[in-house]
C-alpha cells in the first residue's frame, strides 16, 4: 500500500516533522520540545495546570491547559473524598505465568530453551540416521 506523493501536502510534512522531532526529543531528553519546533514549545506539567497540544494544522496548533478538568473532577476529587481514600490503580496483569525481571533471566531461559531444542533435534537425527543404515 503506497501513499500518492501528490496528496502529501506541506502541512502533512510539517506535522510529520513535528511529531518525529517531538518523539525523538522526548526519548532523548525527557522533554518533547527543549527548543521550539515550528513555533510550539511544551513546558513542564504542574499539578493543577496540565497542558496539552491542540492539533489543527502545524501553523495553527496551540498549547492549551487543563483539558476537561471539570469533567474528570468527579473521579479525581469527589469520589476519593466520598470513599475516604484514593482508589489505587492496579498494574495490568500479564498473560504469562512468569515475567522475567532482568535481562540475565531472559538470556538464561532463552539459552536453556535453545539447548533443549538442540538436544531434541540431535536425538531425532541420531534415530533417523540409525534407522537409515539398515
Residue in the block written with cell 538442540: 118
- Comparing 88 with 38, the larger pLDDT belongs to 38
Q: Are strands 62-65 and 51-54 parallel, antiparallel or unpaired?
A: antiparallel
Looking at residue 110, its pLDDT comes to 92
Residue 45 has pLDDT above 80, yes or no: no
| Torsion angle (degrees, nearest 10) of CA 21, 26, 27, 28 | 80
Q: What is the mean pLDDT of the chain?
A: 80
**Comparing 25 with 61, which gets the higher pLDDT?**
25
Kindly report, residue by residue over 60-82, the tens digit of the pLDDT: 777 787 777 777 778 777 777 87
Q: What is the pLDDT of residue 98?
A: 63
Measured distance CA(16)–CA(76) in Å, rounded:
34
User: pTM higher than 0.85 for the full model?
Assistant: no
Distance CA 22, CA 31 (A): 8
Q: Would you state the cell numbers that stand for residue 80, as one nine-digit string?
A: 476519593
Cα gap 76→48, rounded to integer Å: 11
What confidence tier does 122 reach under pLDDT thresholds 50, 70, 90?
very high
* 88-119 pLDDT tens trace: 676 666 666 566 677 888 888 899 999 999 99
Here the cell at position 12 is 502533512
C-alpha–C-alpha distance, residues 13 and 101, integer Å? 40
Boundaries of every domain in the chain: 5-83
Q: 37 pairs with which residues across the strands?
A: 40
CA distance 42 to 116: 52
Amino acid at each position: 500500500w503506497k501513499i500518492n506523493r501528490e496528496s502529501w501536502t506541506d502541512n502533512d510534512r510539517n506535522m510529520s516533522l513535528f511529531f518525529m522531532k517531538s518523539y525523538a526529543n522526548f526519548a532523548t531528553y525527557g522533554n518533547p520540545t527543549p527548543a521550539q519546533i515550528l513555533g510550539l514549545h511544551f513546558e513542564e506539567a504542574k499539578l493543577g495546570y496540565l497542558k496539552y497540544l491542540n492539533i489543527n494544522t502545524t501553523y495553527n496548533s496551540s498549547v492549551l491547559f487543563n483539558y476537561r478538568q471539570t469533567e474528570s473532577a468527579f473521579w479525581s476529587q469527589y469520589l476519593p473524598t466520598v470513599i475516604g481514600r484514593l482508589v489505587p490503580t492496579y498494574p495490568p496483569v500479564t498473560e504469562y505465568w512468569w515475567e522475567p525481571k532482568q535481562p540475565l533471566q531472559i538470556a538464561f531461559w532463552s539459552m536453556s530453551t535453545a539447548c533443549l531444542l538442540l538436544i531434541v533435534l540431535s536425538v531425532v537425527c541420531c534415530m533417523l540416521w540409525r534407522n537409515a543404515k539398515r
